[in-house]
Amino acid sequence: MKLRTITFIICIFILIQSSLVAQGTQEKALSPQNTVSVDSSSPLSDLYQISLEDGMVSYTDSTGIRRQIKQHPQHVVVGYNSLLDQWYFAGGTALTKVRGTSNVPAAALHLTDLGSMLSLSLEAILQLNPDLVILNAALENQVDLAKRLRAMGIDVILIDARSHTYQSFIDTVQLFSTIIGTNDSNHALTATLEASVNKTLQKAQTQPIKPKVGILFTSSTNVFMETPQAQVGEMVSMLGGVNIINSDVKGSSDVRIPFNIEYLTQANPDCIFVSLMGDFETTKKAFESMLYTNKAFIGLDAFKNGTIYFVPKQYGIYKPNAAYADAFNYFYEKLYESK
């Protein structure tokens, strides 16, 4: 057989292979960010456009696709602990949690571990015979898992809470409670929380001077600056704080951008919030040893005035969820009441 013929046949096969692969899935693509952009100072909108009819809850998910979920599910599996927290807050119960203790509601601590949120076992989920599975759209393996489960006819909700965490919390709890069917009784719980938060927001509105705020987020290897879309950034913006990252900055539509000492120095914020991942004390020490010897950093007003605040993990790293009222209070105090 001539070489040319073989090469030709291989090219044909590559084309066939490629088109087979490109068949892919029938579903539309998922984008990594919310396609709906919301001005964080406006009143909370109905993100999911929830409607209820004949025991079926319809909602629009973060990719814009309209989905139907049966009400009153009995066997619920949740693949992410802060979503589990929100599910329980909305009045639901679940069969399992995933590895980790943060954000696990007290009522769910006794549940068995399904595995790690980064590699949930499909078999283990199927064995539980679930009628609803709740997963996190930020994790790609959970997105793939959602596809498989939906193809098997199992209801799946994929929540994307990467930005606008508070708004997402309120709307997700509303969605959850509609599905659970505890709408009326749970409504009071959410209403109390929203009322408390709104009171703090109104207090903030009366403040004449709005401080300039820089928000830092540190992991073990990197430091980032949070935008108004991030967890702490959202709360600060809602309370009237002006984030030093405005829309002119490259990457400001993301949740966070790489740390830039020059930009921070130039912006010279009135106060700085720092969220620390990992062990609080160790990371705090590392942060201080890294930055408190930096001439530019110690020249900042915030350093000189002692307005650098290390945010408690339950407000900055983990989702505040039920503790949102306390979270808003904490930031209000730091912004306006500690002079």
Partner 1 sequence: MQPMPMHLTISMKNCMNQNKRLIKTTIIIFVFIASILGLLLGTIQLNLHNLFTQGSMDNLIFFQVRLPRVIVGLLVGAALSLSGTILQAIMRNSLASPNIIGVNAGAGLFVTFSTIFYPGLFFLKPLIAFIGAFLTTLLIYKASYVHGIRPLRMVLAGVAVSALANSLISLSYILNPDNMKSMLSFSIGSLSLIENRDILLILPSLIIGGTVCIITAKKMNIMMLGDDIALNLGVRVESFRLLMIIISSLLASSAVAVVGLLGFIGLIVPHIVKLIIGNDYKDIYIYSMLFGGAFLVFSDTVSRVIIAPYELPVGIVTTMIGAIFFIFLVRRKV
The residues of the shown chain that bind partner 1, judged by CB under 8 A, are 1, 3, 6-7, 9-10, 13-14, 16-18, 20-22, 24-25, 27, 29-33, 99, 113-116, 118-119, 121-124, 126-127, 129, 138-141, 144-145, 148, 151-152, 162, 222, 224, 251, 254-256, 258
**Which tokens in the block code for residue 220?**
């073990």
Between 30 and 173, whose beta carbon lies closer to partner 1? Answer: 30
Residue 230 beta carbon to partner 1: minimum distance, rounded to whole angstroms: 10
Residue 148 beta carbon to partner 1: minimum distance, rounded to whole angstroms: 6
d(CA 145, CA 138): 12
Residue 258 beta carbon to partner 1: minimum distance, rounded to whole angstroms: 7
Between 125 and 327, whose beta carbon lies closer to partner 1? Answer: 125
Could you tell me which of 263, 231, 262 has the C-alpha nearest to residue 246? 263
Residue 136 beta carbon to partner 1: minimum distance, rounded to whole angstroms: 10
Between 74 and 116, whose beta carbon lies closer to partner 1? Answer: 116
Residue 127 beta carbon to partner 1: minimum distance, rounded to whole angstroms: 5
Given a contact cutoff of 8 angstroms between Cβ atoms, the answer to whether 284 and 247 are in contact is no
Q: Is 298 exposed, middle or buried (0-12, 13-18, 19+ CB in 10 A)?
A: exposed
Between 195 and 290, whose beta carbon lies closer to partner 1? Answer: 290
Residue 276 beta carbon to partner 1: minimum distance, rounded to whole angstroms: 16
Q: Is the dihedral of CA 137, 117, 324, 238 positive or negative?
A: negative
Give strand ranges (E) for the chain.
51-53, 56-60, 66-70, 76-78, 96-97, 112-113, 115-116, 119-120, 132-136, 155-159, 212-218, 223-226, 242-243, 256-258, 271-276, 308-311
Between 226 and 270, whose beta carbon lies closer to partner 1? Answer: 226
Between 44 and 277, whose beta carbon lies closer to partner 1? Answer: 277
Given a contact cutoff of 8 angstroms between Cβ atoms, the answer to whether 186 and 90 are in contact is yes
Could you give the angle at the alpha carbon of 80 between the alpha carbons of 35 and 322, nearest 5°?
Answer: 85
